[in-house]
A and B are shown apart, each in its own frame.
Chain A
């Protein structure tokens, strides 16, 4: 009788352990589903808040940086929230090493826009300089990817800023 009781206890504990494992697996599944749902919701939110017809991305790069070091950049356009950035020494060093900086993600409606970018910095002599870009850009229904490129011009011993369309 005693043995039967022990066996019954063991059996019931085994069943309970199996049930616990099943519950734990269910919880893990639910957690995974919640995470996936959250990811989908995030993607949906992103596409609603910034659909491709409105999305524009700005990048900044520096080629060599021998004649110009950027200290700040400001980008404005009609119908777009102004973009400002102040460079730190670390960022200047990274740009000189070839990093491309994702400057901003902005909303810009389809159509033609007059874009103005002012890059303030110092030249090779340590003097303050401003490089300016004023250009018409056309936003279509695809995302607009723009790179502000500051490149050295050895023939002029100076730097110039231009826009590159990706």
Chain B
């Protein structure tokens, strides 16, 4: 009987441990991360350094030079930069695939780096407030979610304390 309880406990514990960041939901604090730039020769970024500023993370899914898919998001991010919005694209390296070449910082979420974490449900858009709390999480295709992101971002940023461009 003891073995069954132990097995049940281990299963629950393992499931929870493995699930990790995928359980991240709006209202929760976002764990800090540091990732290198996917663009050679550029410095990495650390989330904790952006405290006080709203941060939008754009998680790409299957992305090989997917600039076209990100073009509208880049324009959107740049138009809100003066309100202090910090935007990063999170790119996961895959075999023979190249990161997008855009003006926004593209970070490489390589599991090799223990200073980061993975979000299982990608693509996704995350909006993290200045306190480091996840306010909004939109999962699904970036093209499908663009309109919703545009609307949400406008309302969300109007609720954030203005700090000006970073």
Contact = CB atoms under 8 A, between A and B. Distances in A.
A65 to B, nearest CB: 12
Nearest to A72: B36
Contacts of A82: 114
Do most interface residues of chain A lie in helix, strand or loop, or is the interface mixed?
Answer: strand
Contact of B113 (A84, A87, A92): A84
A87 B114 contact: no
A88 B46 contact: yes
A146 to B, nearest CB: 20
B41 A126 contact: yes
Interface string A53-76: 000000000000000010110000
A88 B44 contact: yes
A73 to B, nearest CB: 11
A128 B115 contact: no
Interface string B17-30: 00000000000000
Contacts of B44: 71-72, 86-88
A90 B49 contact: yes
A87 B113 CA distance: 12
A128 B45 CA distance: 18
Contacts of A128: 40-41
Contact of A88 (B40, B41, B45, B113): B45
A89 B34 contact: no
Contacts of A127: 41
A122 interface: yes
Interface in B5-40: 34-37, 40
A5 to B, nearest CB: 58
A133 to B, nearest CB: 20
A103 B61 CA distance: 33
A92 B42 CA distance: 11
B114 A122 contact: no
B114 A84 contact: yes
B41 A89 contact: no
Nearest to B33: A86
